[in-house]
A and B are shown apart, each in its own frame.
Chain A
Amino acid sequence: MDWVFLSELAINGALTGLLYSLFAIGLVLIYKASSVPNLAQGGLTMVGAYVVLALARDVGLPLWLAIPLAAVVMFGLGFGIERVALRRLAGRPVVMILMLTLGLDIFLRGTTLAIWGGTSRSMELGVSYDPLFLGDIFISRIHLVGAGVALALFVAFMLFFRTRTGIKLRAIADDYMASWSVGISVERGVGLSWALASVVAVAAGVIWGEIQGVDQALSLLLLKGLTVAVLGGLDSILGAVIAGIILGVVENIGADFLDPLVGGGSRELIVAAVLILTVMIRPHGLFGRHDIERV
């Protein structure tokens, strides 16, 4: 057993996993407020990346300005989605809202295809691709940056959920009717959660766009993000971070063992197995909320 190699796999797996977490945080935000896994989060991430590129390339702004500006645009888009589409569905069965988010994902993918075409574009963040060595272990710089962004967002949201607005959002997640009864605007709360998730989508879109290029394939991140969110418990941001690290490590090390045996492609299998097993064995995930039953 080569311990250096194994720890290199583990560390890079954990970093990649945190990038999945970065994506999954957006899912968790929306799930917390509306109890629906947002199947359009992949589409939002892709649109986030395209908006950054549009501002940077087509308008010609520097990236440090284009990214926050894109976050503002996406914040508005998130609010708009609630206002135009979701508000009408309030009180309808959850499966309807789920279908709506699926339709939204397809719509967003089609829109980017129509506007920017299907050719992959590069983000060009300017992060160096020179290898970074930690002792004998090789680490990718962009993954390190992305993991840092994920952790920063995690801390920011943990703090946010202690503010008055954050507490109101958690109250909405707990009980719509009781929220209405004390004058909390449930509609605005759900809109805010979509807006925040759209901002997270910009962060995920920029990092993942840098890694794999900006095209419609970005929306497929949903599969891994959803696996992480489900494993973490769907409504726990801490869960999303820890589940991301777990999935990243398991995937990286597992694939290294399995790939020679099955001839490659075992990564996807491992992710799918984790998703299926979580739902079967532990539907609340690692940190998911249980409904409280007092005895």
Chain B
Amino acid sequence: MQEKVEAQNILSMNSVEVLYDNVILAIKGVSVQVPKGEMIALLGSNGAGKSTTLKAISGLLKAERGRISRGEITFQGTDITEAPAQKRVEMGICHVIEGRRVFEHLTPDENLTAAAPRGMSRSTLNAEKDKIYAYFPRLAERKNSQAGYLSGGEQQMLAIGRALVTQPKLLMLDEPSLGLAPFLVEEIFGILQKINKDEGLSVLLVEQNALAALEIVSQGYLIENGRVVMHGTAEALKSNSDIQEFYLGGGETDFHNVKHYSRRKRWLS
């Protein structure tokens, strides 16, 4: 039984603790499972530990002098807790880091070339690029301009496209909606959903924009203060009154009936 569960999860993170500079405990025993071919969201407020969780999975922690001090991460059944970041990309984990971070002085086309895995033939690379341009037609139009001058939405598309060149099996995105107009968020999320359906790509999405994220994922984890405090299907989370109050901005619409006691995040205490 256990075996079977393992096989269904492309990624399994068990009670992972992360230390920065050997002292600051950033996440305290986070467990997250990503079933193969599904889209999962990590929700939570600023500084809750969502980005750290992604960095622990992609191995980018090391670049910020962080390390996993407890717990383990397995990807397709292989323990990757100690694997270097480059190896994890080769295995099929790609992390679209926060803030887009495109290679500004390169053209979009060169951005895609830069991410090509070692040994990828020219024809495969061109096929990958064509596929990405088909998903993001806006990128195709501007492929030879300087990436630093693309709009925010286009840069986010480029960052996702650049990750796709590495031929990932698990794509992790850190706040792709940050600073983008709602219609752009909708467009990008729609494309993500399409890629997920067409290619069976598993997606782990970190979002503060819970409303948009819960529309496209199947399950969500809520992280607060470095711990997973809630986990459920997207439907269950959407209908949870605490989630509505704190993350969806819904709940009270009638100001005459506003509750007079202040609601607390009860699960924190």
Interface residues of A (CB under 8 A from B): 91, 164, 167-168, 170-171, 173-185, 289, 291-292, 294
Any A CB within 8 A of the CB of B117: yes
Chain B: interface size category: 20 to 34
Would you give the shortest CB distance from A175 to chain B, in whole angstroms?
Answer: 6
Would you give the shortest CB distance from B254 to chain A, in whole angstroms?
Answer: 41
Contact A175 B116 (CB under 8 A): no
Contact A167 B113 (CB under 8 A): yes
Q: Which of B75-117 contact A (CB under 8 A)?
A: 85-86, 89-90, 94-97, 101-106, 110-111, 113-117
Would you give the shortest CB distance from B167 to chain A, in whole angstroms?
Answer: 10
Contact B105 A182 (CB under 8 A): no
Contact A292 B101 (CB under 8 A): no
User: Which residues of A lie under 8 Å from residue B209 when comparing CB positions?
Assistant: none
Known contacts being A292-B105, A294-B148, is A183 close to B117, with CB within 8 Å?
yes
Would you give the shortest CB distance from A42 to chain B, in whole angstroms?
Answer: 28
Would you give the shortest CB distance from B141 to chain A, in whole angstroms?
Answer: 18
Contact A183 B106 (CB under 8 A): no
Contact B149 A292 (CB under 8 A): yes
Contact A171 B146 (CB under 8 A): no
The CA of A185 and the CA of B84, in the complex, are separated in Å by: 10
Would you give the shortest CB distance from A130 to chain B, in whole angstroms?
Answer: 46
Contact B148 A292 (CB under 8 A): yes
A-B contact pairs, 22 of them (CB 8 A): A167-B114, A168-B114, A170-B103, A170-B106, A174-B103, A174-B105, A174-B106, A177-B97, A178-B102, A179-B114, A180-B85, A181-B58, A181-B85, A182-B89, A182-B94, A182-B165, A183-B90, A183-B117, A184-B86, A185-B86, A292-B105, A294-B149
Known contacts being A168-B114, A174-B104, A175-B103, is A181 close to B86, with CB within 8 Å?
no
- Other A-B pairs, 12, CB within 8 Å; known A91-B63, A289-B105, A292-B148: A170-B106, A177-B60, A177-B101, A178-B101, A179-B114, A181-B97, A182-B89, A182-B114, A182-B163, A183-B115, A292-B104, A292-B149
User: Which residues of A lie under 8 Å from residue B146 when comparing CB positions?
Assistant: 292
Contact B86 A164 (CB under 8 A): no
User: Which residues of B lie under 8 Å from residue A183 when comparing CB positions?
Assistant: 85-86, 89-90, 94, 115, 117, 166
User: Which residues of A lie under 8 Å from residue B97 when comparing CB positions?
Assistant: 177-178, 181
Known contacts being A180-B60, A183-B117, is A171 close to B149, with CB within 8 Å?
no
In the complex, residue of chain A having the shortest beta-carbon distance to the beta carbon of B88: A183
The CA of A185 and the CA of B117, in the complex, are separated in Å by: 10
User: Which residues of A lie under 8 Å from residue B114 when comparing CB positions?
Assistant: 167-168, 170-171, 179, 182, 184
The CA of A183 and the CA of B110, in the complex, are separated in Å by: 15
User: Which residues of A lie under 8 Å from residue B103 when comparing CB positions?
Assistant: 170-171, 174-175, 178
- Give the interface centre of A91, A175, A183, A185 by most chain B CB atoms within 10 Å: A183
Any A CB within 8 A of the CB of B162: yes
The CA of A182 and the CA of B102, in the complex, are separated in Å by: 11
User: Which residues of A lie under 8 Å from residue B86 when comparing CB positions?
Assistant: 180, 183-185
In the complex, residue of chain A having the shortest beta-carbon distance to the beta carbon of B97: A181
In the complex, residue of chain A having the shortest beta-carbon distance to the beta carbon of B172: A181
Would you give the shortest CB distance from A232 to chain B, in whole angstroms?
Answer: 16
Would you give the shortest CB distance from B117 to chain A, in whole angstroms?
Answer: 6
Any A CB within 8 A of the CB of B65: yes
Would you give the shortest CB distance from A188 to chain B, in whole angstroms?
Answer: 9
Would you give the shortest CB distance from B4 to chain A, in whole angstroms?
Answer: 31
Contact B110 A167 (CB under 8 A): yes
User: Which residues of B lie under 8 Å from residue A170 when comparing CB positions?
Assistant: 103, 105-106, 110, 114
The CA of A173 and the CA of B103, in the complex, are separated in Å by: 9
Contact B101 A175 (CB under 8 A): yes
In the complex, residue of chain A having the shortest beta-carbon distance to the beta carbon of B107: A167
The CA of A250 and the CA of B146, in the complex, are separated in Å by: 34
User: Which residues of A lie under 8 Å from residue B163 when comparing CB positions?
Assistant: 181-182
User: Which residues of A lie under 8 Å from residue B110 when comparing CB positions?
Assistant: 167, 170-171
Would you give the shortest CB distance from A78 to chain B, in whole angstroms?
Answer: 20
The CA of A121 and the CA of B94, in the complex, are separated in Å by: 55
The CA of A179 and the CA of B58, in the complex, are separated in Å by: 13
User: Which residues of A lie under 8 Å from residue B106 when comparing CB positions?
Assistant: 167, 170-171, 174
The CA of A167 and the CA of B113, in the complex, are separated in Å by: 7
The CA of A290 and the CA of B114, in the complex, are separated in Å by: 21
In the complex, residue of chain A having the shortest beta-carbon distance to the beta carbon of B174: A181
